[in-house]
Amino acid sequence: MASTLRLELPPDTRLQVTPEQFLPLAAANPNLRLERNANGELIVMPPTGGESGQRNFSLIGQLAAWVASHPDLGEGFDSSTGFFLPNGAIRSPDVAWVRGRRWQALTPEQRRGFPPLCPDFVIELRSASDDLAPLQAKMREYISQGTELGWLINPQQRQVDCYRPGSEMERFDHPLELSGEPVLPGFRLPLSPIWL
């Protein structure tokens, strides 16, 4: 029986992986949440705690219900889906949605792997251990790569940062509900389950 060794890296050490190396690395480590930034640096994200998992489950469930009632508009994805962005990064938003025409334009092989596109809509949910600045940078990256609407939900401050292309980030303090218009027609996200 082999024992497990833990690798700890100094804060200034970065592991570089190519897109071709990332796929087998992610497949070999299914219990880790891995991302790759545009510079090829590997990002390992710890599992979330119970409250974050509960909040994310609520977000996914609400978007899933909307997708089920609007099946021709697009497809929804959870945080285990990696998207191969145009800048070379491989990112896994907590919640994502892709327009149907864009999803259908992919080959079956592209759909099975990391879809080579940036989602049209993303949600990132800040957990208690997350620093805010890297999440804000990730949101700006999504917008620069083609996302039309992004929400960074910060339960610790009960704030939501809304990102859209061509606009400044808009912050909402303790909103009760968010509207996905016009990207997600009719989608309204109640936030009372998120604020717990």
pLDDT band at 137 (very low <50, low <70, confident <90, very high): very high
**CA–CA distance, 116 with 139 (Å, rounded to integer):** 18
pLDDT of 1: 44
Angle at 52 between CA 57 and CA 29, to 5 degrees: 85
At residue 121, the 3 state secondary structure works out as strand
What is this structure's pTM?
A: 0.89
pLDDT of 6: 52
**CA–CA distance, 127 with 130 (Å, rounded to integer):** 5
**CA–CA distance, 118 with 143 (Å, rounded to integer):** 9
pLDDT digits (tens, 9 = 90+) for 20-44: 899 888 888 887 888 999 999 988 8
